[in-house]
Amino acid sequence: MDKVKWLQQLVQQNPQDAQTHYWLGKELAETGRWLEAVQSFSAGVAHCSDETLRAEIIHELTNATAQLQQEKLSHSASPPIIEVLPNEEEHSTSEEAEQKVKWIDRSAKFKVIDGGGEQKSEKPPISQVTFADVAGLDELKKTIHLRIISPFFNKGLFAKFRKKAGGGVLLYGPPGCGKTFIARATAGECQAHFYPVHITDILDPYIGVSEQNLKAIFDKARFQKPSIMFFDEVDTIGFSRAKSSANTRGVIDTFLAEMEGIDTSTDQMLVIGATNMPWDVDNALKRPGRFDRLIFVAPPDTEAREQIFQLKLEGRYMENIDVAKLAAQTEFFSGADIENVCELAAESVLEEILTTGNERPIRTEDLLNVLKTQQPSTLEWLRTAKNYVKYANQSGLYNDIEQYLRKYGRKI
């Protein structure tokens, strides 16, 4: 049974449920059944008492009505036709017949001329990166699939339990472990429009402009639902208000209001934040309703490190690389650390070739020699996190780190 038939059955069982009418209309609109979608949205408006949901249904109803009218206009387009006026006499001459013929041109009276300017697309491209491109991290993928991706593909089921798709998710962990890449892959899995937000898109030296820029970005994402917004280094604009200056206080307050305020909603709009310092993010942002789901992105495990070595060495002049041996000796190394090891090994081999004049490929020994001089960059972060877990985890926000440290704490 497809989603449309299942939702139609739910509507028959509870015809006064506005939310079910809404999701049925959305599914019908996605399949191009605009007339049925308009009917379903209209029924939803008639039975809706929630003002936020009512505004969303009206918005979708407007879009569906516009699509229906456009479809009718495209079907009704026809070449000029001949209309013959009724003859007063049955036997009329050919000249009289020609005079009684009226040509009606129903073609458009305006012609659009291309001005030669570059056409801009309002919709951002959907991310083509998926979890298949992410090395390892199987447990993290399962967590993200359950908490983030499933609501986007099972809207009817989640609506039945009044569980919205969207909200806020905060990815945190050591630098270089792929938080940004995971966010882009999540957008690709959800088939949603991806909005990467940079700090330069928001901050402005003039008073009040930064707040307006932030609000405009949220409004744009809400207009293109479903969408995913990604704030890298979110602590730069969501810094704790107890530690921030008066100049940045307005930006933080606007961020809080846009995430969840009196007249704002993040339904069908996922806001992903990434940070290396979750303890510096304002506590109001980490409460339920905003960034209510905190996900720890740990350093890559052994399987992930093997895949990262294969990816970073792919296309290089090499032979007989034992990635399993390399992965075993790079515990706590981040993806960025592994890429740096590969770069240093390539530089070492190139220096030898330029010195001796004998060309040779990269071997496992070259990478092992580099590892003798390198330390994982994640250790300092993990030691800092260990203190926060020990002394500042009363609310349980950092339970994921605590479990990780219980498993590997003796080696840190």
CA distances from 27 to 3, 163, 275 (A): 7, 17, 35
* pLDDT the model gives residue 75: 59
Rounded CA-CA distance 216/199 in Å is: 14
- Report the first-to-last Cα separation within the chain, whole angstroms: 52
In order along its 412 residues, the chain shows pLDDT tens digits of 577 787 788 788 888 888 888 888 888 888 888 788 888 878 887 777 777 777 788 888 788 877 777 776 665 554 444 444 444 444 444 444 444 444 444 444 444 444 444 444 455 555 577 888 777 777 778 877 777 777 777 767 766 666 666 678 889 999 988 888 888 888 788 777 788 888 888 888 888 898 999 999 888 888 877 778 889 888 888 887 777 777 778 888 888 888 876 556 666 678 889 999 888 888 888 887 788 788 888 899 898 899 999 989 999 999 889 999 999 999 999 999 999 999 999 999 999 999 999 999 999 999 999 999 999 999 999 998 888 888 877 777 888 888 888 888 777 7
Residues 6 or more apart whose CB falls under 8 angstroms from that of 316 comprise: 342, 346, 362
Checking DSSP bridges between strand 81-84 and strand 101-104, what pairing results, if any?
A: antiparallel
Contact yes or no for 32/41 (Cβ under 8 A) = no
With H, G, I as helix, E, B as strand and everything else as coil, classify residue 168: strand
- Which pair of structure tokens corresponds to residue 205? 């030296």
- Which pair of structure tokens corresponds to residue 310? 């294969």
* pLDDT the model gives residue 135: 73
CB atoms within 10 A of CB 148: 22
Helices 246-259, 209-223: crossing angle, 10 deg rounding: 20
Q: Which domains are present in the chain?
A: 3-71 (1.25.40.10), 131-296 (3.40.50.300), 302-371 (1.10.8.60), 378-411 (no CATH)
Whole-structure pTM over 0.75, yes or no? Answer: no
DSSP-assigned states of every residue in 41-103: HHHHHHH---HHHHHHHHHHHHHHHHHHHHHHHHHH----EEEEPPPSSSS--HHHHHHTEEE
* pLDDT the model gives residue 343: 95
- The CA-based angle 372-377-380, given to 5 degrees, is 120
